[in-house]
Amino acid sequence: MSIPQDTNRSGSKIVSAFVNFQKTEFLNQVEKNLVRGDDPLQIIEALTNAMEIVGEKFSRGEYFLAELIRSAMLFKDAMEIIEPLLSQSDQRKSFGSIVLGTPKGDIHDVGKNLFSAVANASGLEIIDLGVDVPPVKFIDEMKETGSKLLGMSGLITPVFSSMKEVVGLLREEGIRNQVKVLIGGSVTTPECKNYIGADFQTTDAIEGISACKKFLKELEGQNVS
Amino acid sequence: MSAETMTPTERMEAAYHLEKPDRVPVVMNVDEKFAGRYMGLTQAEVTHNFEAGTKAIRDTFDAFGEWDALAEHFPLAEWYLVDAEMPMKFKTPGRELPEDYILQPVEFEAITRDDYDTIIEMGWPSFVNEILCERSRGVTAEEAAKAKKTFKERVSKITEYWHQRGVFFLSGPIIRHPFHHLSCARSITHFTMDLFEIPEKVMRVMDVLVDTAIENGIYGTKEKKHWVVRVIEERASNYYMSLEMFEKFWMPWAHKMVDAFIAEGFNILFHLDSDFTNNLKYFKEFPKGRVIIETDGMTNLLKAKEILGGHTCIKGDVPAAMLVCGNPAEVTEYCKKLVDELGKDGGFILSNGCTIPVDTKPENFQAVLDIARYYSLNI
């Protein structure tokens, strides 16, 4: 995706300022667009497109974790302006949802929060359970929300046994084949993905978001209900 | 089969000096967490009881037949709880956490952006004593100083015990690169915004911090009767920021520390968490044979050998996940490869990454030791 040039010129200004981290210009343009009556949901869509461009730059090695953090902060600043103007009936378009948490034994949340911020900005609805989450709580939330994606993050190895327990509980509940399990965090490896029984492992937030999109398409194609 | 011809101290010193020892040295970074679990104690027992923690480390060292250097010899946890310079809060087992959880840091904005000017004006030690102590530890400067004094007296006794035993310490004191220190103190999110929004101010504050880091490094290394200073860096890798930013925000202060420590006759061990593969070329700027890098599962060690072989000692590492989830055959194969690729010409130390995981399988721990002790004798 590239920065849109012609259609909706102000939208392209928002995207350009976001991608280039011109904070003042970006926030001014957001406010300007709102004042002139632009649909807030369309502005959020522009932000999502901008986040996708940032993600592409990260994947190409032009941007790094620092830029992901910056983009998440810019998105948050913009949403603070936009959200009060959303009506109750306004539904932000999302491409799916994920139940996310740091499992029992681990209270770290920096990586999880960053993934959450970037993924939310990219259009994924986040159901964040927090840290030190008992395995059964993941299952309860998956059943309650009907989410097809379960994401677990960790920074220390005690989290592995909790992650494995979560996957075991999904099997016991008979819903393992209906969902996808993603694990992340710098302590995780492709090998421990197999040990835990997860579907995907990464230490890269952008890769994680791409995997979410791919899995949701797959599950849709399987007509999993 | 060949036999060992060196003491652990001789072996470690040879590796540090880029020579080829009789075999590849092996260092397992054991602290009270794994040691406590291995000896059947709860995390609360070894975190809050200095004697229990140091005994667990000693008993584990003996139970595994010793390895070539001790990375930690007292419960680090207790140090964190009294060291106000460590700008994170901690949740500890048996108190804020269940009995057998490991101690874990809680990152928060210990230093605000407004504090930068205060640090520049007051200097770091005064800022720690008059402001940070209360904010991050909830104690006054006097209470912190008293707790530290008592703690240091106990550490001094156990340090002397190990000196008497002739055991080599991996390094002298642990200090933090100002970049890492500020990132922890501001929290990674706020610090990231600082780097882009007020870069000059960040650099001025790092100028202040580095002087204290150097002073502490020199003092602590002499006190421990050592000649290597260990510098922690967990956040500056190319995964986090561009190489241009690394050149701007990390290298100048690294050079300052390296120059100061070399002037004292010391070597420098950089503890590098995260993926530093793309940053490795910068370590060739430091004098040959004066720096050791200690990696943590993500840096490509074969690349490290290609770039830094014959210039920098490499201490690296079996990934944490492999030690916990893997089996001895996998660990053995992995370590053999490391020894074959990195150990032939010397300047290599086999190790785990960072601190050994609390739930490391003992048979995997043993497998790492066996490769160094037996397989590497014959390479």
Picking from B300, B372, B303, the residue whose alpha carbon sits closest to that of residue B343 is: B372
Kindly give the pairing relationship between strand B228-233 and strand B174-176: parallel
The CA distance from B66 to B59, in Å, is 10
At residue A138, does pLDDT exceed 60? yes
Give the closest-approach CA distance of A44 to chain B in angstroms: 22
CA angle B19, B20, B26 (to 5 degrees): 105
Angle, nearest 10°, between helix axes B178-186 and B199-223? 120
Mean pLDDT for chain A? 92
A21 CB within 8 Å of a chain B CB: yes
At residue B131, does pLDDT exceed 80? yes
Picking from B247, B361, B342, B328, the residue whose alpha carbon sits closest to that of residue B299 is: B342
The CA distance from B256 to B229, in Å, is 13
Could you tell me the two tokens for B316?
A: 């690296």
pTM for this entry: 0.95
Task: Quote the pLDDT of residue A4.
Answer: 55
Long-range CB pairs of B287-295, under 8 A, 24+ apart, other chains included: B287/B258, B287/B262, B288/B18, B288/B312, B289/B17, B289/B18, B289/B313, B290/B258, B290/B262, B291/B258, B291/B267, B292/B16, B292/B228, B292/B267, B292/B268, B292/B349, B293/B269, B294/B230, B294/B269, B294/B270, B294/B351, B295/B353
Decide if B5 contacts B331 (C-beta within 8 A): no
At residue A224, does pLDDT exceed 50? no
Each residue's pLDDT tens digit, B28-60: 999 999 999 999 999 999 999 999 999 999 999
Picking from B256, B77, B118, B275, the residue whose alpha carbon sits closest to that of residue B179 is: B256
Task: Quote the pLDDT of residue A143.
Answer: 96
The CA distance from A42 to A48, in Å, is 10
Each residue's pLDDT tens digit, B15-31: 999 999 999 999 999 99
Give the closest-approach CA distance of A115 to chain B in angstroms: 13
A50-54, A164-168, A210-214, B145-149: which range is least confident on average?
A: B145-149
Phi and psi, residue B343, nearest 5°: -90, -15
Each residue's pLDDT tens digit, A113-123: 999 999 999 99
Picking from B297, B374, B312, B373, the residue whose alpha carbon sits closest to that of residue B342 is: B312
Could you tell me the two tokens for A148?
A: 């097809």
Each residue's pLDDT tens digit, B170-221: 999 999 999 999 999 999 999 999 999 999 999 999 999 999 999 999 999 9
Task: Give the helix/strand (H/E) hosting A150.
Answer: strand A149-153
Picking from B57, B18, B19, B21, the residue whose alpha carbon sits closest to that of residue B37 is: B57
At residue A7, does pLDDT exceed 60? no
Task: Give the helix/strand (H/E) hosting B182.
Answer: helix B178-186
Best of B191, B272, B325 to disrupt the A interface (most A CBs within 10 Å) is B325
Kindly give the pairing relationship between strand B104-106 and strand B89-91: antiparallel
Count Cβ neighbours within 10 Å for each residue of B318-342 and write b for 16 or more, e otherwise: bbbbbbbbbebebbbebbeebbeeb
Picking from A48, A61, A58, A38, the residue whose alpha carbon sits closest to that of residue A18 is: A48
Q: Is B103 helix (H, G, I), strand (E, B) or coil?
A: coil
**Contact list, A188 vs chain B (CB under 8 Å):** 321
Put simply, the answer to whether B196 touches A110 (Cβ < 8 Å) is no
Give the total residue count for chain A: 225
Task: Quote the pLDDT of residue A6.
Answer: 39
What residue type is assigned to position A81 of the chain?
I
A144 CB within 8 Å of a chain B CB: no
Best of B31, B43, B96, B104 to disrupt the A interface (most A CBs within 10 Å) is B104
Q: Which residue has the tokens 């020894």?
A: B339
Put simply, the answer to whether B245 touches A66 (Cβ < 8 Å) is yes
Mean pLDDT for chain B? 95
Closest chain B residue to the Cα of A156, Cα to Cα: B357
**Cα–Cα distances in angstroms (integers) from residue B327 to residues B167, B332, B360, in the given order:** 29, 9, 10
